[in-house]
């Protein structure tokens, strides 16, 4: 393959010297995404979890025929419950014919994909790996609704919430109800998030839904846990998305477009929303975002797009506000006015997000990163954000119990 040097252009990014833990000087390396692979999100009754992982992984690796991973990391939430299969790292590496390399699964509830990418990033950054395959996967549709609900509830405390009948939807409904009460936000404004997500998904090939919805559709859809309605919620689905992360040395040997991961940060919150000082502050998102901004040198106003964890309409609003990208109580109104549309000031969920692309929970973080790669490599087709040079992803496990934030920039 034709070798080349990764670009040193800043693309408006104010690069800081690499810093280690607690700000100590570091000799850490640059990390790039060199290729991605996606399975179309939806129902795949004909595919097992290994089939999903392999299809996405082969899609990513096919762009790099001369590169072989020296590490495999799988992001997944509940394969043991969902399909009776654990040990996914070894299963994937064996299925691909790789032997003798580190291969394992990373779990952080719905943030598993982002946490897996963070793990791979650290390995390349520290010089332990030169080429890492990261695959997020979830097989959800083989379970009935009650079992999916039970599996998702594992993202919170079994002893203090699930044992008394609280579900993941009902926990988010608590924050949704408090948000509407505190800020007096019209329900029509909150509905702008799913309306926009479905609009973006119309032209997204790998998205689950290709149907536009209106605010009236959202507000008249069935109540799931008041005030959350069906069209406020992301769907149950199957999917897998893969990334190949490479070092700067390896990047010189590939000819595919490169996207640099300028920062990768993960933070945890107080586990129960009932013990937090303010349930409407996503403290994990806030901490990961601040560290990512500091490490990358990217000022928030320089972001060209954001892939947020929009599992529910309320998570979109609280994510944007906790990162300071919207004032408190104003994100829904800004969404209704078009600020976050594809042609807005800060496009979000550019391929439909979790809401309309779909939310195969353990894979959602890798779908976000793959979509960010497509944007920054100029391969987003009709969903392309014009002039995109810098983007961010935010992937959440639980109700902001664990959040991974990545800031990325075009390296071409």
Residues with catalytic roles: 110, 359
Dist. CA 277–CA 279, nearest whole Å:
7
Decide: 231 and 223 in contact? Cβ < 8 Å.
no
**E strand spans, 18-83:** 31-38, 71-75
Dist. CA 38–CA 358, nearest whole Å:
13
Angle at 248 between CA 267 and CA 25, to 5 degrees: 55
Angle at 327 between CA 321 and CA 331, to 5 degrees: 65
72 forms bridges with which residues in the sheet? 103, 133
394: nearest Cα among 294, 299, 325: 325
| Residue 66: Cβ-neighbour burial (10 angstroms; 0-12, 13-18, 19+) | exposed
307 forms bridges with which residues in the sheet? 393
Neighbours of 25 (CB within 10 A): 9
**E strand spans, 60-179:** 71-75, 103-106, 131-139
Decide: 217 and 192 in contact? Cβ < 8 Å.
no
117: nearest Cα among 195, 32, 190: 32
For 80, phi and psi rounded to 5 degrees?
-65, -45
Cis ω on the peptide bond leading into residue 227 (within 30° of 0)? yes
302: nearest Cα among 9, 11, 6: 11
36 forms bridges with which residues in the sheet? 243
């Amino acid at each position: 393959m034709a070798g080349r040097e990764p670009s040193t252009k800043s693309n408006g990014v104010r690069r800081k010297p690499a810093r280690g833990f607690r700000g100590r000087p570091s000799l850490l390396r640059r990390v790039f995404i060199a290729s991605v692979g996606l399975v179309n999100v939806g129902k795949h009754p004909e595919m097992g979890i290994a089939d999903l992982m392999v299809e996405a992984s082969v899609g990513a690796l096919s762009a790099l025929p001369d590169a072989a991973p020296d590490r495999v990391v799988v992001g997944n939430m509940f394969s043991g419950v969902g399909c009776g299969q654990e040990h996914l790292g070894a299963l994937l590496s064996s299925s691909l014919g790789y032997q003798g390399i580190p291969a394992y699964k990373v779990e952080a509830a719905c943030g598993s994909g982002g946490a897996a990418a963070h793990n791979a990033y650290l390995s390349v950054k520290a010089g332990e790996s030169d080429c890492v395959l990261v695959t997020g996967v979830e097989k959800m549709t083989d379970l009935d609704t009650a079992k999916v609900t039970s599996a998702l509830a594992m993202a919170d405390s079994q002893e203090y919430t699930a044992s008394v009948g609280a579900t993941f939807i009902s926990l988010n409904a608590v924050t949704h109800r408090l948000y509407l009460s505190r800020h007096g936000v019209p329900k029509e404004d909150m509905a702008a998030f799913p309306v926009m997500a479905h609009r973006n998904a119309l032209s997204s090939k790998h998205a689950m839904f290709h149907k536009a919805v209106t605010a009236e559709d959202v507000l008249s859809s069935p109540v799931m846990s008041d005030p959350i309605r069906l069209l406020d919620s992301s769907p149950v689905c199957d999917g897998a998305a893969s990334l190949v992360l490479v070092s700067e040395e390896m990047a010189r040997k590939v000819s595919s477009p490169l996207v640099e991961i300028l920062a990768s940060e993960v933070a945890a919150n107080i586990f129960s929303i009932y013990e937090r000082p303010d349930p409407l502050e996503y403290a994990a998102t806030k901490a990961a975002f601040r560290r990512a901004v500091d490490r990358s040198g990217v000022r928030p106003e320089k972001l060209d797009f954001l892939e947020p964890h929009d599992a529910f309409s309320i998570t979109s609003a609280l994510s944007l506000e906790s990162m300071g990208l919207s004032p408190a109580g104003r994100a829904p109104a800004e969404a209704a006015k078009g600020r976050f549309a594809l042609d807005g000031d800060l496009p979000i969920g550019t391929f439909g997000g979790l809401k309309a692309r779909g939310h195969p929970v353990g894979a959602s973080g890798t779908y976000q990163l793959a979509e960010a790669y497509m944007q920054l490599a100029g391969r987003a087709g009709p969903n392309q954000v014009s002039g995109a040079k810098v983007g961010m992803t935010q992937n959440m496990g639980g109700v902001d119990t664990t959040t991974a934030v990545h800031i990325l920039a075009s390296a071409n």
